[in-house]
Amino acid sequence: MAQSTAAVATLIAALLLSSSAHAQGNDSLAPSRIFDALALHDGATVCELGAGDGELSIAAAARVGSRGHVYASELGDDRVKALRAKVSARTQIEVVAGAADRTNLPDGACDAIFMRNVYHHVAAPGPMSASLAAALKPGGRVAVVDFRPPGAEAPTPADRDEDDMHGVTPESVQRELMDAGFQVERTEKGSRRAFMVVAVRGT
């Protein structure tokens, strides 16, 4: 239990740094591009993992409309509480307390899942990718938006948030998703080091 709590605390700290970097103009892709890649439509159910301040989850809620549903996931009591306060006016957004190696989403609940600048902080991509697949409906899509490291990729997933290796390659994301049974649909390039891998859960 202590080990699990330490892993969550480490991931929260890394996500805070990632959110700060993004706010200062770090590599990413426009929300509309992410939502188009996921084919989000009115009435769909979508989840954002590592929702931060809820900005993208609120945008997703506008995209899926009043008949849709959005799960916004975060780690740690304080971040979950802050996220709930931020999205409280949006009745179709449900905040979920996530974990370092699993989504904690209901099985088969989502048409789509996305994460932005979060995947490279996942130290156990195998269990997390399996959990992503479990939370998706058959044929559901996942979009991993992240950025390449400035040089060589870290030797292990746990080291991907180290300064001189900060990031992940799209090839690693593709491989890890395929290991969990996903079919990679495409990879798109964003500005600078940013990329998006879109994959589909098999039927």
pTM: predicted TM-score of the whole model, two decimal places: 0.86
pLDDT in tens, the chain (203 residues): 555 554 444 454 444 444 444 433 345 689 999 999 999 999 999 999 999 999 999 999 999 999 999 999 999 999 999 999 999 999 999 999 999 999 999 999 999 999 999 999 999 999 999 999 999 999 999 999 999 999 999 999 999 999 899 999 999 999 999 999 999 999 999 988 999 999 999 87
What letter would DSSP give residue 35? H
How far is C-alpha 184 from the chain's CA centre?
16
How far is C-alpha 5 from the chain's CA centre?
20
Question: What distance separates the 2 farthest-apart alpha carbons in the chain?
Answer: 45
Residue type, 54: G
Q: Which helix (H) or strand (E) holds 147?
A: strand 136-147
2-201 fold: Rossmann fold (3.40.50)
Domain boundary assignment for the chain: 2-201
